[in-house]
Amino acid sequence: MSEPIKNLPPAGGATKEREFLDGPHSRLREFGFVIRVLREFIRGFRVLHFLGPCITVFGSARFPEGHEYYEKAREVGGRLAEMRFTVLTGGGPGIMEAANRGAKEAGGTSVGLNIELPFEQHANPWLDVMIEFEHFFVRKVMLVKYSMGFVVMPGGFGTMDELFEAVTLMQTKKITHFPVVLMGKSYYQEEAEEFLRKRVVMRFGLRQSLFIPKK
Protein backbone atom coordinates (compact mmCIF):
# COMPACT_ATOMS: atom_id res chain seq x y z
CA MET A 1 0.00 0.00 0.00
CA SER A 2 1.62 3.25 -1.13
CA GLU A 3 1.55 6.69 0.43
CA PRO A 4 -0.02 9.57 -1.52
CA ILE A 5 2.60 11.65 -3.34
CA LYS A 6 0.39 14.73 -3.36
CA ASN A 7 -2.08 15.47 -0.56
CA LEU A 8 -3.44 18.96 -0.97
CA PRO A 9 -5.01 20.79 1.98
CA PRO A 10 -8.78 21.22 2.16
CA ALA A 11 -10.36 24.43 0.90
CA GLY A 12 -12.48 24.94 4.01
CA GLY A 13 -15.05 23.37 6.31
CA ALA A 14 -18.05 21.51 4.92
CA THR A 15 -20.30 23.80 6.98
CA LYS A 16 -19.30 26.83 4.88
CA GLU A 17 -21.17 25.56 1.85
CA ARG A 18 -24.21 24.78 3.98
CA GLU A 19 -24.16 28.34 5.32
CA PHE A 20 -23.80 29.76 1.80
CA LEU A 21 -26.83 27.79 0.58
CA ASP A 22 -28.99 29.12 3.43
CA GLY A 23 -29.82 32.20 1.36
CA PRO A 24 -28.55 35.71 0.56
CA HIS A 25 -25.70 37.12 2.64
CA SER A 26 -23.77 40.36 2.55
CA ARG A 27 -22.10 41.21 -0.77
CA LEU A 28 -18.69 41.00 0.87
CA ARG A 29 -19.42 37.53 2.16
CA GLU A 30 -20.73 36.40 -1.24
CA PHE A 31 -17.58 37.77 -2.89
CA GLY A 32 -15.48 35.79 -0.42
CA PHE A 33 -17.35 32.66 -1.49
CA VAL A 34 -16.53 33.38 -5.15
CA ILE A 35 -12.84 33.73 -4.29
CA ARG A 36 -12.83 30.40 -2.43
CA VAL A 37 -14.48 28.70 -5.40
CA LEU A 38 -11.98 30.27 -7.79
CA ARG A 39 -9.07 29.02 -5.68
CA GLU A 40 -10.58 25.54 -5.67
CA PHE A 41 -10.89 25.54 -9.46
CA ILE A 42 -7.32 26.76 -9.93
CA ARG A 43 -5.95 24.12 -7.58
CA GLY A 44 -7.77 21.40 -9.51
CA PHE A 45 -6.62 22.71 -12.89
CA ARG A 46 -2.98 22.85 -11.79
CA VAL A 47 -2.87 19.25 -10.58
CA LEU A 48 -5.11 17.45 -13.07
CA HIS A 49 -3.80 19.11 -16.23
CA PHE A 50 -0.78 16.80 -16.46
CA LEU A 51 -2.37 13.45 -15.62
CA GLY A 52 -2.97 12.13 -19.13
CA PRO A 53 -6.13 10.28 -20.26
CA CYS A 54 -8.44 9.46 -17.34
CA ILE A 55 -11.49 7.28 -16.79
CA THR A 56 -13.67 8.00 -13.76
CA VAL A 57 -15.19 5.16 -11.73
CA PHE A 58 -18.21 5.99 -9.56
CA GLY A 59 -20.00 3.93 -6.94
CA SER A 60 -21.09 3.63 -3.34
CA ALA A 61 -18.71 4.33 -0.46
CA ARG A 62 -20.39 1.60 1.59
CA PHE A 63 -19.40 -1.66 -0.11
CA PRO A 64 -16.58 -3.27 1.96
CA GLU A 65 -13.64 -5.32 0.75
CA GLY A 66 -14.82 -8.79 -0.25
CA HIS A 67 -18.21 -7.62 -1.48
CA GLU A 68 -19.06 -8.60 -5.05
CA TYR A 69 -19.19 -4.97 -6.22
CA TYR A 70 -15.98 -4.01 -4.43
CA GLU A 71 -14.10 -6.83 -6.13
CA LYS A 72 -15.63 -5.99 -9.51
CA ALA A 73 -14.57 -2.34 -9.16
CA ARG A 74 -11.10 -3.49 -8.19
CA GLU A 75 -10.95 -5.56 -11.36
CA VAL A 76 -12.22 -2.61 -13.43
CA GLY A 77 -9.52 -0.34 -11.97
CA GLY A 78 -6.86 -2.88 -12.85
CA ARG A 79 -8.09 -3.34 -16.41
CA LEU A 80 -8.23 0.41 -16.99
CA ALA A 81 -4.67 0.79 -15.70
CA GLU A 82 -3.51 -1.98 -18.04
CA MET A 83 -4.99 0.05 -20.91
CA ARG A 84 -2.84 3.02 -19.78
CA PHE A 85 -5.71 5.08 -18.35
CA THR A 86 -5.36 7.04 -15.14
CA VAL A 87 -8.12 5.87 -12.79
CA LEU A 88 -10.01 8.80 -11.29
CA THR A 89 -12.53 8.41 -8.46
CA GLY A 90 -14.18 10.41 -5.72
CA GLY A 91 -11.30 9.33 -3.49
CA GLY A 92 -13.39 7.77 -0.72
CA PRO A 93 -13.92 4.21 0.55
CA GLY A 94 -16.02 1.41 -0.98
CA ILE A 95 -16.21 1.28 -4.76
CA MET A 96 -13.89 4.28 -5.05
CA GLU A 97 -11.23 2.64 -2.94
CA ALA A 98 -11.58 -0.61 -4.90
CA ALA A 99 -11.04 1.08 -8.28
CA ASN A 100 -8.05 3.05 -6.99
CA ARG A 101 -6.65 -0.11 -5.44
CA GLY A 102 -7.02 -2.08 -8.64
CA ALA A 103 -5.19 0.63 -10.57
CA LYS A 104 -2.30 0.70 -8.09
CA GLU A 105 -1.99 -3.06 -8.01
CA ALA A 106 -1.77 -3.07 -11.83
CA GLY A 107 1.00 -0.46 -11.77
CA GLY A 108 -1.19 2.41 -12.97
CA THR A 109 -1.88 5.91 -11.69
CA SER A 110 -4.60 6.33 -9.08
CA VAL A 111 -6.21 9.72 -8.38
CA GLY A 112 -8.94 10.76 -5.94
CA LEU A 113 -11.03 13.92 -5.83
CA ASN A 114 -12.32 13.76 -2.29
CA ILE A 115 -15.24 15.83 -1.00
CA GLU A 116 -15.50 17.33 2.48
CA LEU A 117 -18.58 16.04 4.29
CA PRO A 118 -19.75 16.38 7.90
CA PHE A 119 -19.67 12.55 8.13
CA GLU A 120 -18.51 9.35 6.44
CA GLN A 121 -16.17 10.50 3.67
CA HIS A 122 -12.43 10.06 4.05
CA ALA A 123 -9.70 9.57 1.48
CA ASN A 124 -8.69 5.99 0.78
CA PRO A 125 -5.02 4.91 1.08
CA TRP A 126 -4.55 3.83 -2.56
CA LEU A 127 -4.01 7.25 -4.09
CA ASP A 128 -1.02 8.70 -5.90
CA VAL A 129 -2.70 12.11 -6.06
CA MET A 130 -5.47 13.42 -3.84
CA ILE A 131 -7.29 16.76 -4.02
CA GLU A 132 -9.90 17.65 -1.43
CA PHE A 133 -12.87 19.76 -2.49
CA GLU A 134 -15.35 21.75 -0.45
CA HIS A 135 -17.96 22.14 -3.18
CA PHE A 136 -19.68 19.34 -5.07
CA PHE A 137 -20.18 21.40 -8.21
CA VAL A 138 -16.46 22.20 -8.52
CA ARG A 139 -15.61 18.53 -8.05
CA LYS A 140 -18.14 17.48 -10.71
CA VAL A 141 -16.66 19.90 -13.23
CA MET A 142 -13.22 18.41 -12.62
CA LEU A 143 -14.46 14.85 -12.99
CA VAL A 144 -16.09 15.58 -16.34
CA LYS A 145 -13.39 17.92 -17.68
CA TYR A 146 -10.53 15.50 -17.10
CA SER A 147 -12.29 12.22 -17.93
CA MET A 148 -12.72 10.49 -21.27
CA GLY A 149 -15.65 8.46 -19.93
CA PHE A 150 -17.44 7.18 -16.82
CA VAL A 151 -17.83 3.69 -15.37
CA VAL A 152 -20.81 3.77 -13.01
CA MET A 153 -20.93 0.96 -10.45
CA PRO A 154 -23.83 0.43 -8.00
CA GLY A 155 -24.38 3.41 -5.73
CA GLY A 156 -26.87 5.77 -4.19
CA PHE A 157 -27.93 9.39 -4.70
CA GLY A 158 -24.38 10.67 -5.16
CA THR A 159 -23.65 8.11 -7.86
CA MET A 160 -26.93 8.85 -9.60
CA ASP A 161 -26.20 12.57 -9.40
CA GLU A 162 -22.91 12.10 -11.24
CA LEU A 163 -24.53 9.79 -13.80
CA PHE A 164 -27.38 12.14 -14.66
CA GLU A 165 -25.06 15.16 -14.69
CA ALA A 166 -23.05 13.43 -17.42
CA VAL A 167 -25.99 12.26 -19.51
CA THR A 168 -27.62 15.71 -19.26
CA LEU A 169 -24.46 17.27 -20.68
CA MET A 170 -24.51 14.63 -23.43
CA GLN A 171 -28.17 15.22 -24.25
CA THR A 172 -27.66 18.98 -24.48
CA LYS A 173 -24.48 18.54 -26.59
CA LYS A 174 -22.29 20.21 -23.99
CA ILE A 175 -20.02 17.17 -24.23
CA THR A 176 -19.70 14.64 -27.05
CA HIS A 177 -17.97 11.29 -27.55
CA PHE A 178 -18.26 10.56 -23.84
CA PRO A 179 -19.06 6.90 -23.11
CA VAL A 180 -20.89 6.04 -19.89
CA VAL A 181 -20.95 2.38 -18.81
CA LEU A 182 -23.28 1.11 -16.08
CA MET A 183 -22.00 -2.04 -14.35
CA GLY A 184 -24.01 -4.25 -12.02
CA LYS A 185 -26.86 -5.93 -13.88
CA SER A 186 -28.55 -7.24 -10.73
CA TYR A 187 -28.43 -3.78 -9.15
CA TYR A 188 -29.75 -1.82 -12.11
CA GLN A 189 -32.25 -4.37 -13.39
CA GLU A 190 -36.05 -4.06 -13.47
CA GLU A 191 -37.23 -0.52 -12.68
CA ALA A 192 -33.88 1.29 -13.12
CA GLU A 193 -32.96 -0.50 -16.33
CA GLU A 194 -36.49 -0.14 -17.71
CA PHE A 195 -36.41 3.57 -17.00
CA LEU A 196 -32.90 4.22 -18.33
CA ARG A 197 -32.75 1.92 -21.34
CA LYS A 198 -36.30 1.88 -22.66
CA ARG A 199 -37.59 5.31 -21.72
CA VAL A 200 -34.83 7.87 -21.30
CA VAL A 201 -32.17 6.39 -23.60
CA MET A 202 -34.49 5.44 -26.46
CA ARG A 203 -36.68 8.52 -26.23
CA PHE A 204 -33.94 11.13 -25.94
CA GLY A 205 -31.34 9.67 -28.29
CA LEU A 206 -28.49 8.63 -25.96
CA ARG A 207 -28.35 5.02 -27.15
CA GLN A 208 -24.94 5.57 -28.74
CA SER A 209 -23.30 6.68 -25.49
CA LEU A 210 -24.95 4.94 -22.53
CA PHE A 211 -24.11 1.24 -22.25
CA ILE A 212 -25.65 -1.19 -19.74
CA PRO A 213 -23.83 -4.54 -19.83
CA LYS A 214 -25.88 -7.74 -19.94
CA LYS A 215 -24.20 -9.11 -16.79
In a domain, 57, yes or no: yes
pLDDT band at 198 (very low <50, low <70, confident <90, very high): low
- In angstroms, the CA 77 to CA 110 distance is 9
Please say whether the dihedral angle defined by the alpha carbons of residues 15, 18, 22 and 24, taken in this order, is positive or negative.
positive
Q: How many domains does the chain have?
A: 1
Residues above pLDDT 70, as percent of the chain: 78
**Residue type at 4?**
P
CATH number, domain of 79, equals 3.40.50.450
In a domain, 150, yes or no: yes
Q: Are 159 and 60 in contact (CB under 8 A)?
A: yes
pLDDT value, residue 193: 61
Average pLDDT on 10-19 reads: 58
Domain with 38 in it: 6-204
User: Which residue, 109, 71, 64, is CA-closest to 89?
Assistant: 109
Size of the chain in residues: 215
In a domain, 101, yes or no: yes
Residues 93-150 have pLDDT tens digits of: 999 999 999 999 999 999 999 988 766 568 899 999 999 998 889 999 999 999 999 9
Please say whether the dihedral angle defined by the alpha carbons of residues 6, 11, 17 and 19, taken in this order, is positive or negative.
positive
In a domain, 112, yes or no: yes
In a domain, 169, yes or no: yes
Residues 24-41 have pLDDT tens digits of: 878 898 899 899 999 999
Q: How far, CA to CA in Å, does 7 sit from each of 10, 13, 131, 135, 158?
A: 9, 17, 6, 17, 23
pLDDT band at 191 (very low <50, low <70, confident <90, very high): low
Question: Does the pLDDT at position 12 exceed 50?
Answer: no
In a domain, 210, yes or no: no
Average pLDDT on 54-76 reads: 95
Q: Are 94 and 61 in contact (CB under 8 A)?
A: yes
User: Which residue, 159, 200, 148, 199, is CA-closest to 182?
Assistant: 159
In a domain, 1, yes or no: no
In a domain, 135, yes or no: yes
Burial of 190 (0-12, 13-18, 19+ CB in 10 A): exposed
What's the angle, vertex CA 168, arms to CA 98 and CA 68, rounded to 5?
Answer: 20
State the chain's mean pLDDT as an integer: 84
